[in-house]
Structure 1
Amino acid sequence: MRKRSCTKQLICVCNVKMVPVHAACALFSLTPLLVLGVPPIWTQPEQVHLAYPGEPGSMVVTWTTFSKTESKVEYGILGGQFFEMTTKGNTTLFVDSGEEKRKLYIHRVILTGLKPAVNYVYHCGSDEGWSDVFYFTALNDSTSFSPRFALYGDLGNENPQSLARLQKDTQLGMYDVILHIGDFAYDMHEDNARIGDEFMRQIQSIAAYVPYMTCPGNHEATYNFSNYRNRFSMPGQTESLWYSWNLGSAHIISLSTEVYFYLEFGLELLFKQYEWLKKDLEEANKPENRAVRPWIITMGHRPMYCSDDDQDDCTKFDSYVRLGRKDTKPPAPGLEDLFYRYGVDLELWAHEHTYERLWPVYADKVYNGSKEQPYVNPKAPVHIVTGSAGCREKTDSFNPNPKEWSAFRSTDYGYTRMKVFNTTHIYLEQISDDQYGKVIDSIWVVKEKHGFSAWF
């Protein structure tokens, strides 16, 4: 049998009619146009994450879709009937300020009436699309509860070196709360906020299971922190910029250090936060409140003290956050004196891509409890800088001649763990991801007395 020549005009069959190949190609060339003519339907939930709204027995579930849908969470007690309870929430349209003006629909549902320390399973979305099934443990609202935290800053979409270890830790049930102390994704606004989307997908494997509590950093500043303010759901009414909450024997304050640097977004924010901090600390120091929650812990992105060789805030000028700014009208007050006056015990920072533990310090001077036991009844706040989780800017180097308040330093990638055991003891340890999860530093902070009078 003679083979057909490959040079003959090819034909295809369509509705039993023979169509020349050039006509078929012309038809197929229109296919992308026909497809693009129909708007895509993006109703599938993604970027699921939890936060604690601050009220006992509650949890807020936040997620994103790219088309408008209902906002529902179906949930139930683990071991019981799945999804026997349903709570509805609200949807906020977030239009990114990039060239494409991409639209994201941010969904928030607050679950209430949760039983303390009970495990729940849930999924979120609507009948147009549901998320995977996740689970969480409702926070124990007892003041004798001993919460466990992972804390870090400066975790990026590119080079998120500590992420896998944090994911495994979370899956092992090691944490009750995550504290992310500023700088997300590097940067959430990039590629018309697609980098923000990708980062939120990355942390879903942590943040969909435990409350992911945040504060803003300098890498969130673009478009007046709009990606940060829209994507996260922290307590209070300040779009997650500053807030406080209670857990166990601790009162935890999250603040924005960036109000000292981005004055173009309003100098009034700096003074508004300062007044809020003062009132919050006054309330936390009322005898009846400090008796049950004696620990006051703050978290903010840019540290008051650091010894990195960054040719910036660690080397060229004293911290605005610590001492304030004299170049504003009126002069902007710093936070060190305020925190000292109200007996803040522990201050958590990031920004520098390193880990640094300080001796108890105030006004640039060391005030150890004693030479043998510096963190037992210290005479000043304890500072921890933990900004080495992993980002595209890599880790930083240190000044070879730090001041006397610098106690321990590491340039390893890693993160910090903290456990508030009771009213007198807090334990902190630094995990090196470079050294396969090794604990490279640890301290106990022990205080028999809290408040301003504890310094004397």
Structure 2
Amino acid sequence: MLTGAKFSFKMGPVRAAWALLSLAPLFVLGVPPIWTQPEQVHLSYPGEPGSMLVTWTTFNKTESKVEYGLLGGRLFEMTATGDATLFVDSGEEKRKMFIHRVTLTGLKAASTYVYHCGSNDGWSDVFFFTALNDSTRFSPRFALYGDLGNENPQSLARLQKETQLSMYDAILHIGDFAYDMHEDNARIGDEFMRQVESIAAYVPYMTCPGNHEATYNFSNYRNRFSMPGKTESLWYSWNLGSAHIISLSTEVYFYLQFGLELLFKQYEWLRKDLEEANKPENRAVRPWIITMGHRPMYCSDDDQDDCTTFDSYVRRGRNDTKPTAPGLEDLFYRYGVDVELWAHEHTYERLWPVYGDKVFNGSKEQPYVNPKAPVHIITGSAGCREKTDRFNPNPKEWSAFRSTDYGYTRMHVVNSTHLYLEQVSDDQYGKVIDSIWVVKEKHGYSSWF
């Protein structure tokens, strides 16, 4: 009896342990994971020479720190700190994320830096970037495109490789990201930002909003990106080499429910910015004025979109608002904008110099040498789930070259008089299928005459 009693006593704790182990999965499921590892790292240029802004995401609150150093020097010998902003997505789950921002200053122009970001709770991979050259004689190279999605991102792999080969000084993403960032309670946005990290963590990734960002009043776009100025990345300008680059929101013409005043506020900002850029002392050192906005003023796509009508809102404004909303074509023409970059249409289209729906070539033999109107490029075929668009079989006379290949555009601002553009076809394994030189011996409104 005594032996049996001892045996029963010893089995009690064993059975209790097995019972606890059987409940372990329930305990584990009840504890949320700790998400302090940085992800979605991307750079942007704050607009001040010798600076770079690093942005990333964590899902728990941590410190915001970047450790960096010159390539070939002591690794991570410098440290910069910033802060994190809580972003609560407006989807059903109300997912929370922390957007970290740290600005690096005092960078040596054209020098390459190695960096990682995060905190002692977790560090990102190691990346590198080259500080932008602030000389007006610098000849920057860009990749530019719009309408790049998480699904079917046809051009992404080539862009990733070329960026890491240091072919570009900056990337211009001209609206429409992820398709769409808000979907699946913003998880699609997270995945897209992870995908483009292999581009955006190496060069400034400069953006403008498109129609696919409109959900919840553009909240995913406004919170995830960190462009210059204080307009939540909706419109801004910056300088690089001999170019003054203006990013704008065409969407203020279409989403009036978010505030008609935004349309007028942007227009007045554009007018003042262009006026400043056209001061003789400014235009002399940065003669090229280049704009980027999502929805084009002109296009020959067959989808009944804004640019397929003569009275395009972006180009001509809206007369169904009080007061009447002004368009952008006359404003850009009056201040001598040289090149206008667009996306939205899932095609590539190059236009002859155009104003008021009419062609104003420099000459018949050399249309882009001293053109008499702005040059428009539409580059929205980087790849998304909506595939490419169809063209109208009977385009207007201002349509110079069209392609439905997936691809993206390269731009090289060579000097104060020469600018080069070429279109890369991803369908044709990186072949350049179109190219032009824009040559301007004189800039500004007077150059049209």
Which category describes the TM-score, using the shorter chain as reference length?
over 0.9
Runs of 5+ unmatched residues, structure 1: 1-13
Q: Does 1:327 align with 2:332?
A: no
Task: Give the paired residue count.
Answer: 440
- 1:62 aligns with 55
Partner deviation per Cα, 1:148-184 (whole Å, 9 max, x = no partner): 0000000000000000000111111100000000000
Equivalent in 153, 159, 165 of residue 172 of structure 1: 165
Residue 361 (structure 1) shift: 0.1
Matches within 5 A, 1:104-253: 104-253=97-246
Matches within 5 A, 1:19-98: 30-98=23-91
Aligned counterparts of 2:179 and 2:22: Cα–Cα separation in 1 = 39
Aligned counterparts of 1:315 and 1:176: Cα–Cα separation in 2 = 33
Equivalent in 410, 429, 433 of residue 436 of structure 1: 429
Aligned counterparts of 1:28 and 1:402: Cα–Cα separation in 2 = 72
Q: Does 1:285 align with 2:278?
A: yes
- 1:415 aligns with 408
Partner deviation per Cα, 1:191-238 (whole Å, 9 max, x = no partner): 000000000000000000000000000000000000000000000000
Aligned residue for 1:105, secondary structure, equals strand
Runs of 5+ unmatched residues, structure 2: 1-9
Aligned counterparts of 2:142 and 2:257: Cα–Cα separation in 1 = 34
Aligned residue for 1:373, secondary structure, equals coil
Contact 2:65 2:79 in 1 (8 A): yes
- 2:441 aligns with 448
Aligned counterparts of 1:30 and 1:258: Cα–Cα separation in 2 = 53
Aligned residue for 1:357, secondary structure, equals strand
Aligned residue for 2:197, secondary structure, equals helix
- 1:352 aligns with 345
Structure 2 letter corresponding to 1:415: Y
Contact 2:298 2:308 in 1 (8 A): no
Residue 19 (structure 1) shift: 5.1
- 1:387 aligns with 380
348-357 or 170-179: bigger deviation: 170-179
% identical equivalent positions:
88
- 2:5 aligns with none
Aligned counterparts of 1:66 and 1:302: Cα–Cα separation in 2 = 33
Residue 314 (structure 1) shift: 3.7
Aligned counterparts of 1:16 and 1:125: Cα–Cα separation in 2 = 48
Aligned counterparts of 1:394 and 1:16: Cα–Cα separation in 2 = 65
- 2:250 aligns with 257
Equivalent in 371, 385, 395 of residue 378 of structure 1: 371
Aligned counterparts of 2:100 and 2:294: Cα–Cα separation in 1 = 26
Partner deviation per Cα, 1:328-381 (whole Å, 9 max, x = no partner): 000100000000000000000000000000000000000000000000000000
Aligned counterparts of 1:312 and 1:97: Cα–Cα separation in 2 = 28
Q: Does 1:310 align with 2:303?
A: yes
Structure 1 letter corresponding to 2:167: M
Structure 2 letter corresponding to 1:151: L
CA RMSD, Structure 1 to Structure 2 (Å) = 1.5
318-327 or 141-150: bigger deviation: 318-327
Aligned residue for 1:417, secondary structure, equals strand
Aligned counterparts of 1:241 and 1:332: Cα–Cα separation in 2 = 18
Structure 2 letter corresponding to 1:262: Y
Residue 40 (structure 1) shift: 1.5
Aligned counterparts of 1:411 and 1:313: Cα–Cα separation in 2 = 19
TM-score w.r.t. the length of structure 2 is: 0.96
Aligned residue for 1:440, secondary structure, equals strand
